[in-house]
Each structure stands twice: as structure tokens, then as C-alpha cells.
Amino acid sequence: MRFKQINEGVEYGELKSLIRPRLSVAEFEPKTGNESDVVVLGFYSKDEYPAKDLATFIERGVTDILDTEVSPAADEDGYYMIFVEVENEELMDKVMSLLDDVNRLAEIDEWTIKFFEGREISVNADDINKWLKKN
């Protein structure tokens, strides 16, 4: 009897146009610790199943995270949130690493990072690569 290989997970570019090029940093309260030790990052997906795929991809990735969770319903703009909890130490290294990983699936040229106090910055793939090579 011959078996077929089953490919699981997502592949390069598979979530293109399904992930919003925006990352929320520390806008939500963590479940696994207090706000001084744990930061919640939030990615946005246009649909529930790509959100779950991204959460699984992040959990299995090389970036050190504590937990992921997908929102049970879409927000007022129609996006599902992928919450990623990380330790506050070396936060920007983890953010840049996650953006680099997610770029492999979503092929996003420029990200907007929104911080809890309302400040926003834009980073592109070159900025991310320079940061990762520097650190």
C-alpha cells in the first residue's frame, strides 16, 4: 500500500493579502503575567482560519514567545486578532523577529507598529533586516 505525504501548515506567501500590515504593541493586558513582565502583541487577520494558521506558525517558530490566542470574533473593522504574549526583555528584538517570520507568509512591504500610548511607527523589510543583523 502506498501512502501520500500530507503537508500541514502554511507555506511562503500563503497568507498574502490576508494579514493586515499593522502590529499592536502593549494595547491589551496579558493573561500569563503582569504588564511589567509580559507584553501582548496583536496581529490582524481578515478571516478566522488564516488567523489560526498564523497563531500556529508563530507558536512553532524560532522567536521565544509565551502564548498565542486568536480572538473568538472579529473586531469592529472585521479583523480577527492574533494575540502573542512575549516577555518584556529584548522586546524590539522579538518584535522584529516576529515581523520577519510573518513576512515569509504575508509578504508585507511595510508594517505600522502601534504602541499602547497611541504612537505609531512604520518599518519596512529593509529596516527589519538591518535590525536583525545588528543584534
Domain count, the chain: 1
pLDDT (mean) for 92-119: 92
Please tell me the distance from the alpha carbon of residue 110 to that of residue 127, in angstroms, as a whole number.
9
Task: Please answer whether residues 37 and 126 qualify as being in contact, where contact means their C-beta atoms are separated by less than 8 angstroms.
Answer: no
- Domain range for 117 is 19-134
Average pLDDT over residues 62-85: 96
CATH number at residue 85: 3.30.70
- Asked, for residue 57, whether it belongs to a domain, the answer is yes
Asked whether residue 4 carries a pLDDT value surpassing 50, the answer given is no
Per-residue pLDDT of 18-72, as tens digits, reads: 999 999 999 999 998 888 899 999 999 999 999 999 999 999 988 999 999 999 9
Residues β-bridged to residue 68: 84
